[in-house]
Amino acid sequence: MPSLQKALPPELADNALRLYRECLRRAKFIGSQQHNTGLLVSMVRQQFKKNMHETDPEKIQKMKDDAARGLINHIIYESEKMTGRKFSG
């Protein structure tokens, strides 16, 4: 399966720390709209902390792909909301 990270800028997709920071930014943004910022931020932190000592490159790639998928889904959702058009099937 090809990596979903190609849909993200390479400087974000190739760097776990930048990916983490972007996930936190999105969690804060969504949380501010739904009034549950603390919960969402703690969920993101918990997932990254839980996996921070992983050394298997395939598992790391899968986790990064999962994070990228979440970011892409949120970007598509916000774009659809702004334009009123549905981009996904």
15 neighbors 6 (Cβ within 8 angstroms): no
**The pTM is what?**
0.69
Domain extents for the chain?
A: 10-82
**Residue 19 near residue 11 (C-beta atoms within 8 A):** no
CA distance 39 to 89: 30
Extract the tokens encoding 56. Answer: 């298997």
pLDDT of 14 strictly over 80 = no
Report the C-alpha gap between 24 and 18 in whole angstroms. Answer: 10
**Of the candidates 42, 41, 3, the residue with the CA atom closest to the CA atom of residue 25:** 41
**φ, ψ of residue 28 in degrees (nearest 5):** -65, -40
pLDDT tens per residue, range 31-89: 898 898 999 899 999 988 998 888 888 888 888 888 888 888 888 888 888 888 877 65
